Each structure stands twice: as structure tokens, then as C-alpha cells.
Amino acid sequence: MIKRYQYDPQPLPQTVNGRFQAFLFALGISSLCLFVGGGIIWSALEETGFRFALMLFFGLWPVAVGGLFLYISFYFTWRLTLLPDKLVVRFPFHQRQFAVSDLLAARLVTVPNNRSPEPSVTLTLTMANGRSLRLTQQEMPLPLPQLLEMLVYHYQLPLTYEKMPAKVHHTEFGAGSRRPFTHYLQGESRVQVQSVAEICRWLQQCKYVRDTELFNQRDVWQHPGEFETLQKGDCEDHALWAWRKLNELNIPAEFVVGRTEWGENINGAQSGAHAWIAYRENGRTYILESTHKKQLVYPLDTIQERYQPWYSVDTDMKTYRYVPVAGVLSEK
């Protein structure tokens, strides 16, 4: 999950220094490997024949590794400065500049990390002239999602979310997601509906109640049948019921979790972590905001800026991850 940070806007220029420890680590490994490899090769000069070739071979490996780490340290991001008209990236031994007018997109990408349960995060800046800049979280002390927010704010970049197929375990959707999603599409459900309008009318009769009040637990996801009995629950309970009913109507729908920024209470639900439904009908995508009793259905393109999706699952049990994309490319 890519977390969102509250960015306190400050005037430009803004400077972010890289992690000096990462630079020293790469430089230290490089020096050690070059020293070991150089020592082996120096000793090999006193040998002949097969022994000389063997020692030369084993000496070249540390030199190659040392050269790789030296290259990494050479491209280590020492300092990033945001100016009104350009981005200046200072490396240990050189400097690159990127005009803001050439900035096409800024994209956050998460990749699995074998050495940590948390995925690695990379911020990639793509320029109109084909150049690009990649910043890793290991290089920057500032969280990259916060850096992306700085770019969006200062350079007025449109922010959308790119949906990417990904294997997302159901437990990543929330603390209350303890069962596979097939569980919510199976089992008894007594309420019958014939249209989206009937789904909305039934949900308007339900009451929004937090899990801490209803179950004395932090997060509980009710089965749609249980929700029909109580007619009480939080956003996940409302959304899971609507998801099942849309599936029964053969309307393509996805259960989505993420964050909302309504700036108001939605029947007691503050802006923040949230669950909702996205569905397609007549070639258009809609948001079914199941806890918003006054109006439940909105065309996605009219309120997209209020929603920041993290993960979703469709009725075929395919899961998706959403990547924040800022800039011109996000419109494609």
C-alpha cells in the first residue's frame, strides 16, 4: 500500500538531500572489492601459466563488483532541488537539470522486496525529450509519496491512478478481510433487486455504524446475508453487499479500498480510509458510494479527484493495484 502524507506547502525552491549513508556504503563496498581484486591480480603477476590465469580470473570478479558499486555511487542522488522552472539533481560527481515544461509524468512504482515484507518504492520522472530520472526510497530520506505530492502541488500536475493487474492477497485489503472474496458472493442472500436504483434504495434504509460500536472490534467485514439482517455496518459492509448485488445483475463491478477526500462527514464516516464500488454501465464508469445516503451513484470522471484507490477486486476474483501517476501521461 502506498501511504498518503499530509504535505504542508512551502514556497519554492525546495531542496531534499539524499541519504549520505547509502553513498558511503556503495563507495565502501566499491573500495573493498577493488582493493581485494587488485591485490589478487598484483599477486598473479608473480605467477605463470595456469596459476596466473586462475588468479587473474578470480581477481577480476571483485574488480567487476567494485566497478559496479562505484557506478552506483556515481549515480547516487546527492541532492534534489525543486525550482519554479526546473528540477536540479546533484550527483556526487555531476549534475543534471530537467525543465518543468518537459515533465510528462511522475509515477510511483512498488516492487516486491525479497529482503523485506515491505515493497520497494521508486519514483520515476519521464520527460518529453525521452530522458528520465528514477529515485529510490533508499536514496531519499523523504517518503517518495510525499515528494510526489510536492511535485503535484508546485507544478500543478493532474493526479490520477493507473490500475495494474497484481496478485494482492485478500488480507491486504484491510484488517477485517479474513476470508477470500468468494465468501461474499456465496451463501444466503434474501434481498432481491432488479436494478442499480433498487440497490441504492435498499442501502438508503441501512444505518452507518462503526465496527467499534457494533461489534466492539476494530474491523469486521460482514457477509451480505448478515448485513441484510442487521441493516447496520460500516463502509466495507455496505460496499460488499452492493458488489454482490451488482454481480447478480451481471453488471461488471469492482470492490475498491483506498482513501477519500470529501472534506465532510458521510453519515458519520470521516474522510480517510474507505471502501466503495466502481462499476461500468453503458460504456461509462460509476462510483457507487454506498454510505452516502443522499446520493449514492456518481460518474467517476466528475469526482475522481476525491478518490485515491489502493486495491480492487472484480467478480472474477482478479485483483489490481493502483499506481499514482501525475502529469500528461496520466490522461492516456
For residue 312, give the H/E element and its range.
Answer: strand 307-314
CA distances from 119 to 113, 115, 138 (A): 5, 9, 12
CATH of span 165-331: 3.10.620
Q: What is the pLDDT of residues 223-244, one digit of tens each?
A: 999 999 999 999 999 999 999 9
Helices within 159-204 (DSSP H only): 182-185, 196-204
Domain ranges of the chain: 14-162, 165-331
Nearest CA among 296, 178, 320 for reference residue 242: 296
* Fold equal for 14-162 and 165-331: no
Eight-class DSSP state of 291: T
Could you tell me which of 258, 248, 242, 244 has the C-alpha nearest to residue 290?
Answer: 242
DSSP 3-state assignment of 213? helix
pLDDT of residue 268: 41
- CATH class for the domain made up of 14-162: mainly beta
- Specify whether the CB–CB gap between 165 and 312 falls below 8 A: no
pLDDT at 140: 85
Q: pLDDT below 70 — which residues of the chain?
A: 1-8, 75, 112-113, 115-119, 263-271, 328-332
- pLDDT, tens digit, for every residue of 161-191? 989 999 999 999 999 999 999 999 999 999 9
pLDDT at 331: 40
* Whether pTM exceeds 0.75: no
- The single-letter DSSP state of residue 269 is B
Is the CB of residue 165 less than 8 Å from the CB of residue 316? no
283: number of Cβ within 10 Å:
5
